[in-house]
Amino acid sequence: MKSITIKGSKRESVGKVSTKALRNAEKVPCVLYGGGNAIHFSADELSFSKLVYTTKALSVVIELEGDEKYNAILQDIQFHPVSDKILHIDFYQLFDDKEVMMDIPVEFVGQAPGVKLSGGVLSKNRRKLRVRALPANLPDNIIADISNLEIGTKLYVTEVADEKFTLLHPDNAVVCQVRNSRVSLQIEEVESEGVEGAESEADGDAAAPAEGQS
């Protein structure tokens, strides 16, 4: 897993007043858990862009004053409901010999025959999968190959498993599937109604008496 560095400063106070002051200064209040006592710090909001707005999972090296460095992963993030500004971030400290749980993005590769040739639609049931692994075995993303999916077929989590990590989902959990498109279903319904209507008319004609007969 790739890593980025975030430089921050320890927080002297964690009250509402100091938190508001940090946000007014374009800084994000953060907490690092997992290593004993929680470490409160802050960092420039811009320094989190590569971590938050990405399609891959990343680990973080948190550098604080006094040459303190911590390896971590993003645990939770809070956004402002209107402005989408980052309000708060929780990190979890990594240790080489300790497994951690993390949500990993799914990368869909290939072309599904059911979509390309049969007009189906790919339904992405899970865009992230939760895994447990040692830090060295955490993947940037999980590859889901859809090259064999026909209409009505599904790709299960067992088909994207890897011995380096444990997927924390039931074996029957669906990653993605190819469904009939609504347009295709509507055409089928119209055609079916047309055939039924034609059959009804034919039955009516056959049952009607010939001209001149009573």
Domains of the chain: 3-94 (2.40.240.10), 102-183 (2.170.120.20)
**Listed range (16-25, 89-98, 136-145, 205-214) with the worst mean pLDDT:** 205-214
CA 101 to chain centre: 15
Which pLDDT belongs to residue 179? Answer: 93
Query: Between these two residues, 143 and 209, which has the higher pLDDT value?
Result: 143
Q: Give the confidence band of 17 by pLDDT, cuts at 50, 70, 90.
A: confident
Two tokens at 193? 């109604």
Instruction: Please tell me which residue, 195 or 139, carries the higher pLDDT value.
Output: 139
pLDDT at res. 110: 96
Pull the structure tokens for residue 45: 């909001």
pTM equals 0.78
| Alpha-carbon gap, residue 188 to 204, rounded angstroms | 24
**In the predicted model, what is the mean pLDDT of residues 151-169?**
96
